[in-house]
Amino acid sequence: MDTITHQKNTIAVNGFTTIESVYTSAEIKAILTEINKANTDKSTFRKTTDLFAIRQFLKEVPAVNNIVFNAKLKAIIADLFGDDYFVVKSIYFDKPEASNWFVAWHQDLTISVDKKIDLPGYGPWTVKQNQFAVQPPLEILQNNFTIRIHLDDTDEGNGALKVVPGSHLKDIYRPETIDWQTETEHTCSVKAGGVMVMRPLLLHASNRTTNNKPRKVIHIEFSNAELPDGLEWSERQWF
């Protein structure tokens, strides 16, 4: 079985895969250099002792686009999903060495859109920092995918993503109903320069940092779905 077929099968069955050496150390350094130049006074930037985050990352730090979408990443997307996908959301997470921040088990059930419109199958709605988010029909979430670009070596000691393999196949899966007698938790360790590809319906979580090492990740969501009746993806862009 060739590598691409194996990765496709792994995503189909488990809901995720990891791919090493997508970025060089020079590319990682170039991305971080552009991030350090950014104006952090905007509402899309959040900085606390536990977390530095940039929402709408590719829009707020546009100089990283050509580095992030290098030839290797473009080939991964085309080979695994096709050439009709576009970016619909991007976030940069910097979890500092002494962070006590953690994320409980959840699925990524919402999409970011430009306005609120009452539409069948869309809801509930939320608004954060003037950004509308809504839970769309299930088929949109089932076809979307996320790529997490790791800028640091990440393992269970600095909050690597934990997942429940195969949980993306169970539609809406409430964390309080997880049966740990039948489910298995897996930690997705990824070296700096590697990526994790996952389906948004995959149950995932993240622990507190215990090894005094940072964890910097670029989280990018992709879709090929056109939204109905004047509703638009708020961060839609081609690459």
| Residue 99: domain span | 3-223
- Tokens 């070296």 belong to which residue? 191
pLDDT digits (tens, 9 = 90+) for 10-38: 999 999 999 999 999 999 999 999 999 98
* Residue 239 domain-assigned (yes or no): no
Residue 216 structure tokens: 């910097």
- What confidence score (pLDDT) does residue 49 get? 65
> pLDDT by residue (tens digit) across 208-238?
999 999 999 999 999 999 999 899 999 999 9
| 163 part of a folded domain | yes
Q: Are 88 and 226 in contact (CB under 8 A)?
A: no
Q: Does some domain include residue 139? A: yes
> Which CATH number fits the domain that encloses residue 69?
2.60.120.620
Residue 87 maps to a domain: yes
Backbone angles phi, psi at 214, to 5 degrees: -75, 165
Q: Is residue 189 part of a domain?
A: yes
Residues 6+ apart with CB under 8 A from 187: 155, 156, 160, 161, 162
Question: Which pLDDT does position 1 carry in this prediction?
Answer: 61
Low-confidence spans in the chain with pLDDT less than 50: none
Distances (CA, A) of 90 to 119, 184, 199: 25, 29, 15
77 in any annotated domain: yes
Beta strands in the chain (DSSP E): 16-19, 45-47, 52-55, 86-95, 103-106, 111-113, 125-128, 131-134, 145-150, 161-163, 186-187, 195-198, 204-206, 215-223
pTM of the model: 0.95
Region of 100 please: left (phi>0), alpha (psi -120 to 50) or beta: alpha
Sequence length of the chain is 239
| 147 within some domain | yes
Tell me what pLDDT residue 46 has: 76
Domain count, the chain: 1
